[in-house]
Amino acid sequence: MDDRNMESSSSILPDDSSDHSKSIIHIDVDCFYAQVEMVRKPELQSLPLGIQQKNIVVTSNYEARKYGIRKCMLVTDALNVCPNLKLVNGEDLHDYRAASNKIFTVLQSWKCPVEKLGMDENFIDVTNLVQEKLKTVNIATITLSGNMYSESSLECICGCQKRLKIASQIASEMRNKIYDELGFTTCAGIAHNKLLAKLICPFNKPNDQTTIYPEHGASFMSTLQNVRCIPSIGSKTTETLISHKIISVSDLQTAPLDVLKKHFSGDMAVRLKNLSVGEDNTPVKQTGRPQSIGLEDSFKTVSVKSEVEEKFAALLQRLLILVREDGRIPVSLRVTLRKKDVKRLSSHRESRQCQVSPSIFTINNGALTVTDAGQQKLMSIIMRLFNKLINLSKPFHLTLVGLAFTKFQERMTGRSSIVNYLMNDISVQSVLNIQNDCDTSASSMDYSAASPSSSTTTDLSDAEVEPSPKKPKKVTWIAKRRCLSKEEVASPSKLKVGELRLNSRELEKVSELRLSSRDRSLTPRASPAKDNLSDNSDTMKDIAEGDNCDDCPSYVDKEVFNALPDQMQQELKAMWKNPSSSDMVTRSSPRTMNKAKPNSIMKYFVPHK
């Protein structure tokens, strides 16, 4: 065993090289998939319940575990040991993902970094919160919540034990909140690092928590029978270690560093030694939104194109639900296949991806949607990628198909929130392109009476965090004129952008008219455009009454500026006032936005030719 840790178990002084300053909580949901099903259907709670994916029971509730059901048992074996086992199909992960996100959201309410690990686990770094609490509590009365891995007879001089006791109380509050709000029981591990917090977490499962002090790290680690139990040791490292007769964690503790350095890089060898004695300094990284959203379906074999197409169509339906929930607009799609080589009895994965036009996605009442035509477009993109991956003139055998959206347009926050308008512009404007322009008939005039959403409200503010994509940002661009068919009237966001675009065009006509009338050479045109024009002129007059554009640069069209929501007006004014921030729109815009020049909001301010 490492000398340093031999020492630390009998000393009140923390070892020089090990930092006890952090307080980390790891929370794992008990029998996660099974609990999601039991929360949904409480009558399942008293039954032995298994969650089935294909022919495997991926997990089971604790009632079933009493019969000897284990994770990843074959269904046939599970039914042998527990003939009464109630099986629920768990192949659709949608509800598990949703539950996972809800748990993550609950944990974020403590305002500490939360790192999601898989579906049912989270690390929370409560170091700062503990420090805050330490200032207000009576140190003499601090008690532990839950279980202690091993009692300590000596108090560590750095105060880590008190800190971890406070962390244990926070863990208990977190678990209670998850239970009260979502109905899930959980386990927690509390330690001064992620490694020990994770490994101690299941020590008293289900529905309980365990704290381990730094001084017990090495002795606890030595109880692990396999080096693979250490989360950051993968299969390759395990193979190498085993080939050198290092099988248990205790073997790793006693293996000389020099020996390890022969088989691993110097850094890796030191890291392995540190891990073996429970030392780990990896930080809790706040989890952001996923970089890709994907789904896969595996099966025995599919060798017919039409069947592949059916599988993709089913996957796409489910994937679109996930993307809708996420709210970002995808701009790249990846298709994955697992090909079986019948001769070699092996299989391998191949992927292809391509960009997808954001115009496939529309924002309807703030929610991302895809029309039937958009779905057909996606299917043809998918099958095109499939055709590139498969040579259809030869037989093929697939055992998996996968779909993933891999890049997204981000919505901007704070000052850059102006960019959000542009982003909606891109997606929705293109929809108008698909629909091939506007209906300028009288029906469009019914809208203002029919829909209250034409009132001027905007819920964007500088101080606001990112506006929820599901929250419609209702803006009256120019309320009296619109260019929408009856179906479009149902969508305030389409109205918003549709009108913005229309106005741009109409403004062109307005400026044409102004020029022409100056020349006194205007002749009335009997086209719908003319009707538009006259109506629109009125609108322009109405808007000009509330003129806010005294400080605007000369190229700005005042009418359009005044039709913008206050928030955006303020942002633009600030930008014009401070030229150093004037590159904000272009610098912080996603690439797609720069490309989409014709849609740029600036278009509405520069004079039209």
Q: Which chain residues interact with Mg ion by CB under 5 A?
A: 28-29, 32, 120-121
* By CB under 6 A, residue 58 contacts ligand DCP: yes
Q: How far apart are CA 328 and CA 326, in angstroms?
A: 6
For tokens 């964690």, what's the residue?
Answer: 249
Nearer to ligand DCP, 159 or 202 (CB): 202
Build a one-symbol-per-residue string for 508-537: x at contacts with ligand DCP by CB under 6 A, - elsewhere. ------------------------------
Q: Which does 58 bind (CB under 5 to 8 A by kind): ligand DCP, Mg ion, none?
A: ligand DCP
Place of tokens 């004695």: 277
What whole-number distance in Å separates Cα of residue 437 and Cα of residue 227?
A: 65
> Based on CB atoms, which residue is closest to Mg ion, 2 or 28?
28
Query: How far apart are CB 210 and Mg ion at their closest, in Å?
Result: 15
- Residue 99 CB, nearest distance to Mg ion (Å)? 12
Nearest distance from residue 231's CB to ligand DCP, in Å?
A: 12
Pick from 373, 375, 460, 377: nearest CA to 419: 460
Given Mg ion, ligand DCP, none, residue 59, with its beta carbon under 5 to 8 Å by kind, binds ligand DCP
Applying CB under 6 A, which part among 26-34, 409-417, 488-496, 580-588 lies near ligand DCP? 26-34
Report the nearest approach of Mg ion to the CB of residue 33 (Å): 9
- Of 563, 391, 410, 411, the residue nearest 476 (C-alpha): 563
Footprint of ligand DCP on 119-158 (CB under 6 A) = 119-120
39 binds ligand DCP (CB under 6 A): no
Q: Which of 37, 63, 115, 121 is catalytic?
A: 121
Q: DSSP per residue over 507-549, as a string?
A: HHHHHHHHHHHHHT------SHHHHHHHHHHHHHHHHHTT---
Number of continuous H segments (helices) and E segments (strands) in the chain:
24, 16
How many CB atoms within 10 Å of residue 4? 15
The residue (of 62 and 264) whose beta carbon lies closer to ligand DCP is 62
Choose between 28 and 571: whose C-beta lies nearer to ligand DCP.
28
DSSP lists the bridge partners of residue 181 as none
Half-sphere exposure of 259 (CA within 13 A, CB side): 13
Q: Does 31 bind ligand DCP (CB under 6 A)?
A: yes
Question: In angstroms, how far apart are the furthest CA atoms of the chain?
Answer: 100
- What is the x/- site pattern for ligand DCP, positions 160-199, by CB under 6 A? ----------------------------------------
Q: Which stretch binds ligand DCP (CB under 6 A): 27-35, 97-105, 479-487, 537-545?
A: 27-35
CA angle 269, 271, 274 (to 5 degrees): 115
- What radius of gyration, in Å, describes the C-alpha atoms of the chain? 31
Regarding 71 and contact with ligand DCP (CB under 6 A), the answer is: yes
Is 121 catalytic? The answer is yes
Q: Which is nearer to Mg ion, 60 or 424 (CB)?
A: 60
Q: Which is nearer to ligand DCP, 115 or 120 (CB)?
A: 120
Peptide bond preceding 206: is omega within 30 degrees of 0, i.e. cis?
yes
Which secondary-structure segment (H or E) carries 187? Answer: strand 186-191
* x-or-dash string of contact with ligand DCP, 199-238, rule CB under 6 A: ------xx--------------------------------
Residues contacting ligand DCP: total by CB under 6 A: 14
- For residues 506 and 495, what is the distance between their CA atoms, to the nearest angstrom? 15
- Binding to ligand DCP (CB under 6 A): which residues in 453-472? none
Q: How deeply is 413 buried, as exposed, middle or buried, from its count of CB atoms within 10 A (0-12, 13-18, 19+)?
A: middle
Task: Give the nearer residue to ligand DCP in terms of CB position, either 33 or 421.
Answer: 33
Note whether 38 binds ligand DCP by CB under 6 A.
no
DSSP one-letter string for 43-91: GGTTS-EEEEETTEEEEE-HHHHTTT--TTEEHHHHHHH-TT-EEEE--
The set of catalytic residues is 121
* Contacting residues toward ligand DCP, per CB under 6 A: 28-33, 58-59, 71-72, 119-120, 205-206
